[in-house]
């Protein structure tokens, strides 16, 4: 809808509440590993897709994740297929470097960069190119916790 504005509240790195009015109907971009796809991921993508025209997701490649010190359970091409099958996602691109964000924002004419609140403040320097917001992270679910749960289930099964 032309001229649609959204007033948004999000968390600063110090946990402060910031009110922000977003430009209307933006292309939105977010990045992540999205390993063992779970409700925290889908809630983020659903909320982001409601804020704009299209949602682009930068999916971390396996090699990039090694650089983050993360070993993924699900290989990159499966994580891409899952994201591409998600109704909230318009396009999936590879994330293979920390510094590609600026290029992507310009290339895809992004109006809104968004991440979960565990990243609050980390990408504020992008706000010369587009709006930057951080959405509250879904509590009590994470890929790490799922991996630990699966490991405990395997141990219990063996015992
Ligand atoms: N997330 C969330 N709630 C959770 C778990 C994750 O809102 N319970 C959000 C994260 O804040 C992030 C996105 O889901 O915005 C993807 O999370 P990860 O796959 O863990 O992403 P990460 O490995 O942190 O990579 O350049 C940015 C990095 O690629 C982010």
CB 65 less than 6 A from any atom of ligand 1: no
Instruction: Count Cβ atoms below 10 Å from residue 106 Cβ, excluding itself.
Output: 11
Q: How is residue 16 annotated by DSSP?
A: -
Q: What is the DSSP string of 77-104?
A: HHHHHHHHT-TT-SEEEEE--GGGHHHH
Q: How is residue 140 annotated by DSSP?
A: T
CB 40 less than 6 A from any atom of ligand 1: yes
**Is residue 7 within 8 Å of 20, Cβ to Cβ?**
yes
Task: Tell me the catalytic residues.
Answer: 68, 70
Identify the three-state secondary structure at position 21: strand
CB 116 less than 6 A from any atom of ligand 1: yes
Segment 23-47, tens digit of pLDDT: 677 999 999 999 999 999 999 999 9
- Minimal-distance CA residue to ligand 1 atom 7: 137
| Separation CA 10–CA 20 (nearest Å) | 8
Segment 55-101, tens digit of pLDDT: 999 999 999 999 989 899 999 999 999 999 999 999 999 999 999 99
Segment 139-148, tens digit of pLDDT: 999 999 999 9
pTM score above 0.85: yes
- Name every residue whose Cβ is closer than 8 Å to that of residue 159 and which is 6 or more positions away in sequence: none
| Separation CA 28–CA 56 (nearest Å) | 6
C-alpha 53 – ligand 1 centre gap (Å): 21
Residue 5 has pLDDT above 70, yes or no: no
- Minimal-distance CA residue to ligand 1 atom 4: 40
How many residues belong to the chain?
159
């Amino acid at each position: 809808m032309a001229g649609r504005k959204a007033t948004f509240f999000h968390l600063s790195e110090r946990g402060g509440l910031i009110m922000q009015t977003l430009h209307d109907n933006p292309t939105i971009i977010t990045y992540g590993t999205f390993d063992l796809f779970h409700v925290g991921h889908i809630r983020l993508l659903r909320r982001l897709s409601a804020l704009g025209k299209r949602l682009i997701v930068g999916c971390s490649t396996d090699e990039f994740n090694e650089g983050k010190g993360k070993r993924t359970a699900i290989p990159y091409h499966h994580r891409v297929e899952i994201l591409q099958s998600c109704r909230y996602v318009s396009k999936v691109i590879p994330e293979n470097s920390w510094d590609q964000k600026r290029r992507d924002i310009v290339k895809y004419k992004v109006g809104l960069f968004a991440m979960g609140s565990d990243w609050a403040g980390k990408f504020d320097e992008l706000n010369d190119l587009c709006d930057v917001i951080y959405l509250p992270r879904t509590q009590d679910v994470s890929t790490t916790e799922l991996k630990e749960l699966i490991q405990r289930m395997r141990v219990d099964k063996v015992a």
